[in-house]
Amino acid sequence: MKATGVIVEYNPFHYGHIYHLEQAKKVSGADVVIAAMSGNFLQRGEPALVSKWARTEMALNGGIDLVFELPYAFAVQKADTFANGAVSLLSAAGCSSICFGSESGDIEGFYDTYRFLNQHDEKYKAAIHAFLQQGNSYPKALSLAFASLEPDKHLIDLTKPNNILGFQYVTAAQKQQASLKMATIKRKNADYHDEQFTSSPIASATSIRKALFSRTNEGSAIQSYVPDDTYRLLTSYQRSFGSFHNWENYWSYIKLLLLQTTAEELKDIYEMEEGLENRFLALAAKAESFSEFMNALKTKRYTWTRLQRALTHILTRTKKTDVKMAEEKVSYLRLLGMTRNGRAYLNRYKKEISLPIIVKRASFDDPLIRLDSKAARIYAMGLPQKYRQKALELEFSQQPLYIEKK
């Protein structure tokens, strides 16, 4: 059985993801699709709309055969660390290829760009440093540094979010010397950050979430843009747990933490650098909501995403020493769900997979999985009080999901 890998968040799963999976199987010729999926907190530093279990079920219904959790220490990270973890997970799971979506759609362009930047490595790093010194954010500094090298037109545009991640996937595979064939699918219709629906059934996850959190809260508005299973699971989750997750639900906890934390203590939290702790503490007492805090906090230097990730680490009390435990590769595979096809794959190849496959959380201990469990418990606190205990218990009580259909 031939497996291809995808790196996903499914926040939530929609028609664009179905297109991606169909094309991934087509270009790879794979029999099995394996997902490395972020847990309850995501790469851009935000709580997932619904839990990892609900998103796993969406994935299995939508065409994924196996879902493994990308550990928190890799998932809530800048692009290169995120990519290193995800690529190593899929390589360890036995994938022969990885297929990712991009604005480019040209895999050779990614390899050409990788070679180009390797050839100009010292000049590129010096330019990044110079642009950072001018007060630019890290992503902006990367973009300006790349443009300063006067790249050929056939190289990919590293200002686009999915191109940036895709480039890091290719880079990670090269550095790890992984025997993976990389492939990319050009994104259709909606852009990653689009906030409005288009006439197409393919909408961005951003626009779907915006509709769900609109004042009218008419979930039916998204029905044309997500598969029936996704719509059913979203409505079921809201009914079963009383709410979707968003940052405003956690603001009171963050404010409390910041008000009782000293600058010295805050400096130990991952991603708190360059005196950022003083700005956090000064503004926390004044803000009455998460959005008010973020709008006051954001500067040219620090992107919304970078600040959200720092807040996630404050919320989970993740210290710099905790994240240092994360090597460039994952050390275990936590199984969240499988189809019949996925189970057949595991039965056939599990002896060839060198990493432990975790089915029962309670039976395995590791510093990184402890971070995942802590994050899962805190994630549950974003729900109305009467639903929290039910959500808290899922981390240890929930067995991997199994779905017959592919």
Residue 357 assigned to a binding site: no
As beta bridge partners, residue 102 has 186
DSSP letter at 269 equals B
Residue 111 assigned to a binding site: no
Looking only at the bridges linking them, the beta strands covering 333-339 and 66-70 are: antiparallel
As beta bridge partners, residue 358 has 334
Residue 8 assigned to a binding site: yes
CA distance 3 to 30: 5
What percent of the residues of the chain are helix, what percent strand, and what percent coil, each to the nearest 5? 55, 10, 35
Residue 244 assigned to a binding site: no
Q: Collect all residues with Cβ–Cβ distance below 8 Å to 139 and sequence separation of at least 6.
A: 164, 303
Residue 11 assigned to a binding site: yes
Residue 15 assigned to a binding site: yes
Query: Which residue in 80, 40, 14, 99 sits closest to 336, CA to CA?
Result: 40
Residue 13 assigned to a binding site: yes
User: Could you give the count of Cα atoms lying within 13 Å of 204 in the half-sphere of its Cβ?
Assistant: 15
Residue 139 assigned to a binding site: no
CA distance 63 to 401: 14
Q: Collect all residues with Cβ–Cβ distance below 8 Å to 142 and sequence separation of at least 6.
A: 128, 158, 164
Residue 162 assigned to a binding site: yes
114 contacts 163 by C-beta, under 8 angstroms = no
Query: Which residue in 385, 401, 41, 376 sits closest to 243, CA to CA?
Result: 385
User: Could you give the count of Cα atoms lying within 13 Å of 311 in the half-sphere of its Cβ?
Assistant: 32
Residue 370 assigned to a binding site: no
Q: Which two tokens stand for residue 170?
A: 């290719």
Residue 12 assigned to a binding site: yes
Residue 387 assigned to a binding site: no
The CB density around residue 300, as the number of other CB atoms within 10 Å, is 10
Residue 245 assigned to a binding site: no
Residue 187 assigned to a binding site: yes
Residue 16 assigned to a binding site: yes
Looking only at the bridges linking them, the beta strands covering 66-70 and 32-38 are: parallel
Known binding-site residue numbers for ATP: 7-20, 101, 162, 187
Known binding-site residue numbers: 7-20, 101, 162, 187
